[in-house]
Structure 1
Amino acid sequence: MAAPSSSSSAAADVFHSTPFAPPDAIFALTAGYQADPFDKKVNLGVGAYRDNNGKPFVLPVVRKAKQILANDDSLDHEYLPIGGLPAFTNATGKLIFGADSPAIKEGRVVSIQTISGTGANHYGAEFLARFYEPFKGKSQAEKVIYVSNPTWANHKAIFSSCGLTPVDYPYYDPATIGLALPKFLDFLRTAPAQSVFLLHACAHNPTGVDPTREQWEEIAAIFKEKGHFAFFDCAYQGFASGDLDNDAWAVRYFVSQSIPLLVCQSYAKNAGLYGERIGALNLVASHAGEGEGGAARLRSQLLVLQRQEISNPPTFGARIVGMILNDDDMFEQWKGDIKTMAHRIIAMREKLHDLLVNTYKTPAPGPNGWDHVVKQIGMFTFTGLNPEQCKAMVERGHVYMTGNGRISMAGLNESNVEYVAECFDKAIRGTL
């Protein structure tokens, strides 16, 4: 039989020009860690909580909820409403805004269940691209959303795919390993009125650098003056400080100042439900009802987005979180579980700081010694190590971390923190 012609072969291969996409950096780092046979290897790349034995942690209150669900014969596997499980969606807004929030009491909050925080960011961006009044009639290039430099690696990809154009604003100051507040404030003042800014509600990813309450007030004052829109991403409520209310302070303050905003929520970290993909998007409308700009109108369009994307959200994670948020005893138990996680990470910060300062007397990468290790908050720390030092940590120390100096504090425990500190010391001194 004659061989097929080149033209027929090309026609048969309808995907022949598909380019090869590079692997996700964080997941590639984890793959390298898993393949490494070194007995002292440490994974400080993945953004998932680990207990003091380096194992995934299932919250006791989550185990309890799962047992209750498993024994409830009345439950079925029918579709949820398009907007999500009512027991969850009715409670999640109260968690971030506060049950006594005027926006909640006035019926101005619209909440839908999403595929974790990633889905919430996606829907938030889609909604703004379609309906944010200052974007009307503009091209994608003109629909700008300002994001902190740096930000979570997936933010820009999500926003670009939804018809927005992400542009950096100054946030992190590598010279001080802290917040570049004057540059940030100046950028807010000079940005066009009604600009959209992505803000991390707490435990900034990847730097761990958060504004103080006083600094948030300065930021909010400019938002109010310029009419800017706040796109809050909240992936770590409660996980940052161990206090749910404390970690929601910035969001609640912005609401009190009548600043237009939305909030993305994730329960991956604070409930340990990484694989259940449970989250929410909350829009704050100017008023309740069906009139222009009303909550009912906003909700109707969010339901259209949900229907077009996934039709209906998944049930299991929503049932777990809904149960925890609506049962007083389980809610108190959850707050205790959150403190367990947050305080272990805080203890690791203090231990690493002590080893670098007092045991190894390691030269610091910034002007404030190693204080940034204990001043930063949440799961991640920007260590101040440069790319060459990070490379040495991975290749010669078998301590897996990203090239920008970020580490996940959750990967540290009593068994490996001294080894990690030793590797830090050697990497900085050039002896690793």
Structure 2
Amino acid sequence: MGSVAPTSHFAALPSPPRDEIFELLGAYRRDTHPDRVNLGAGVYCDDAGEPWPLNVVRDVESAMYEKADPHRHDYRAIEGDTEFLALARDFTFSTACEANRLTSVQTVSGSGANHVGARFLAETLRPRRVWLSNPTWSNHELIWETVGVPIHFYPYYNAETRNFDFEAMMATLEKEAQANDVIVLHACAHNPTGLDPNQAQWAAIGELCQRKGLFPFFDNAYQGFASGDPDRDAWAIRHFAQLQPAVEMCVAQSFSKNLGLYGHRAGAFHVVAANDGCSPQVRDAVIANLAQIIRSEYSISPRYGSDIAKAVLGSKALTAQWYSELQTMSSRIISMRQALYNELVRLGTPGSWTHIVDQIGMFSYTGLTFPEVKYLRETYHIYIHSSGRISIAGLNTKNVKYVASAIHAVRSNPAAVPSA
């Protein structure tokens, strides 16, 4: 009697969609066309189109190499490096709230902070829902799905005006949001739209959260990178932290963009307690719960990136050097926004393009449709997210005219673009 071929346990496993950004990056790398342009990945590049390790980071790395600390590969505590965490807290919060209201753990950059925070709130706050902006960073939705909290969306982007839809956001939250709902807010340089509330709008959002008992969850991925001014970029977080009566909230923090530590995964998660949650017992319980989550998932965070961040933040001279380089990066992004806008206007490209210069940060929501994006990719080898979001960091003085002329060609001859 012949043996029966075994059936794999995984034969009927569904295949989830691939992450589009990483798929785009792979397609770009396989493309050999001399004019190919990568406008998908959120990684800062210089005007030559090359990665730009910050000089201050290189200096710290050289000093670390010379020191050759024998403990440089040791484990850290599960909750992370306390010196790094204190400096990271000060960088974000400054003097916005008392230190005893803050409890922090080190994470695997911003993604890890978002996930640890989402799981922590799912298990402790047990919110009925989480509110995400429409649109938002794609990983937000995946993270909150993973922890089992129902997702609702608040309006954010008005496709017709290509502006932040403050009125629609507030109307939806006023009508539908309930006490203990979590609301995820982008601290600055909203991803993917590049559109942020102004300070008066932030104040109104804070008042709504305070009045309705919502739990703000700030994603702080671009502090200092967005405007070149870390204090300006942290304004919303600090305003919420100063509200009275106090609002409990949390912050996911990343040093990937502002220090260029993408692959070294330096980040932190901060919990801000109400005034009656400041006792050592409460803070110890928060850390213990967060540490249990971290231990079960990845045990401890990487130390190389956080060691670099600690060295920079712990030195006045190195911090000043870093702030100068933040200005360099943000200024180049702003100049590329202006260059793309100027070229589209010079060409007479159909449509209004003022939103490109009105937005801030690494990304621009261009208003390009999926068929247009697909056509640009296949015909001009320009790699753009299907939403029409582009990474301004991928533009430089050598390719911006090519990109603008391709967009002009697509917009000027819509009949040439196959429908989706």
TM over 0.5: yes
* Residue number in structure 2 paired with 1:376: 359
* Residue number in structure 2 paired with 1:122: 115
Q: Is residue 226 from structure 1 mapped to residue 212 from structure 2 by the alignment? A: yes
Q: CA–CA distance in 1 between the matches of 2:115 and 2:371?
A: 35
| Residue range with higher mean Cα deviation, 35-44 or 234-243 | 35-44
Q: Is residue 238 from structure 1 mapped to residue 233 from structure 2 by the alignment? A: no
Which amino acid in 1 is paired with 2:238? R
Q: CA–CA distance in 2 between the matches of 1:395 and 1:233?
A: 34
CA pair 3-341 structure 1, distance change in 2 beyond 3 A: farther
Which amino acid in 2 is paired with 1:22? P
- Per-residue deviation at 1:159? 1.1
Picking from 90, 93, 96, the partner of 1:94 is 90
Q: CA–CA distance in 1 between the matches of 2:212 and 2:128?
A: 17
2:54·2:259 contact (CA, 8 Å) conserved in 1? yes
Picking from 417, 423, 429, the partner of 2:400 is 417
2:155·2:165 contact (CA, 8 Å) conserved in 1? yes
CA pair 3-110 structure 1, distance change in 2 beyond 3 A: same
2:128·2:181 contact (CA, 8 Å) conserved in 1? no
- Per-residue deviation at 1:417? 0.3
Runs ≥4 in structure 1, deviation > 3 angstroms?
none
* Residue number in structure 2 paired with 1:27: 22
Q: CA–CA distance in 2 between the matches of 1:212 and 1:103?
A: 25
- Per-residue deviation at 1:290? 3.6
* Residue number in structure 2 paired with 1:16: 11
Q: CA–CA distance in 2 between the matches of 1:72 and 1:247?
A: 34
- Per-residue deviation at 1:130? 1.0
* Residue number in structure 1 paired with 2:383: 400
CA pair 402-73 structure 1, distance change in 2 beyond 3 A: closer
* Residue number in structure 1 paired with 2:278: 288
Q: CA–CA distance in 2 between the matches of 1:102 and 1:277?
A: 27
- Consecutive unaligned residues in structure 1, runs of 5 or more: 136-141
Q: CA–CA distance in 1 between the matches of 2:167 and 2:86?
A: 39
1:103·1:284 contact (CA, 8 Å) conserved in 2? no
1:351·1:417 contact (CA, 8 Å) conserved in 2? yes
- Consecutive unaligned residues in structure 2, runs of 5 or more: none
- Per-residue deviation at 1:34? 1.5
* Residue number in structure 1 paired with 2:172: 187
1:188·1:223 contact (CA, 8 Å) conserved in 2? no
- Per-residue deviation at 1:193? 2.5
Which amino acid in 1 is paired with 2:157? Y
Q: Which secondary structure state, in structure 1, belongs to the residue aligned with residue 380 of structure 2?
A: coil
1:103·1:255 contact (CA, 8 Å) conserved in 2? no
Which amino acid in 2 is paired with 1:49? Y
2:337·2:357 contact (CA, 8 Å) conserved in 1? yes
- Per-residue deviation at 1:3? 4.6
Q: Which secondary structure state, in structure 2, belongs to the residue aligned with residue 199 of structure 1?
A: strand
Q: CA–CA distance in 1 between the matches of 2:98 and 2:156?
A: 29
Deviations 1:59-118 (A, max 9, x none): 0000011111111133422110111112211111111111x22232xx111111100000
* Residue number in structure 2 paired with 1:84: 80
Q: Which secondary structure state, in structure 2, belongs to the residue aligned with residue 378 of structure 1?
A: coil
